[in-house]
Amino acid sequence: MLINGATGFTGRVAIQIAKHYGAKKVIATGRNLESLKRLVDLGADEAILLSQADEVVVAQIQELHV
């Protein structure tokens, strides 16, 4: 499951709900690096920083999708 904009309140709650209901892999995206780091503690399996170059973000998502 991909949760876009996960660094906000709703995104943080969505991560926890997804894990609670059995999501096997939760990928969180956001623009705040410090907030993204904390999302792993809430249950996110991966965190992708959206303020990187588009090519980097796409490559990271493609790598996780395999």
Q: What is the reported pLDDT for 64?
A: 86
For residue 66, pLDDT beyond 70: no
CA distances in angstroms from 12 to 15, 22, 36, listed in the order given: 5, 16, 10
Cα gap 43→56, rounded to integer Å: 23
CB-based contacts of 31: which residues, under 8 Å, 6+ apart?
7, 49, 50, 51
For residues 15-30, average pLDDT: 96
Output phi, psi for 24, to 5 deg.
-75, -35
> What tens digit of pLDDT does each residue of 40-65 get?
999 999 999 999 999 999 999 899 87
Cα distance between residue 14 and residue 44, in whole Å: 10
Q: Spell out the domains of the chain, with CATH numbers in brackets.
A: 2-65 (3.40.50.720)
**Whole-prediction pTM value?**
0.85
Averaged confidence pLDDT in the chain: 93
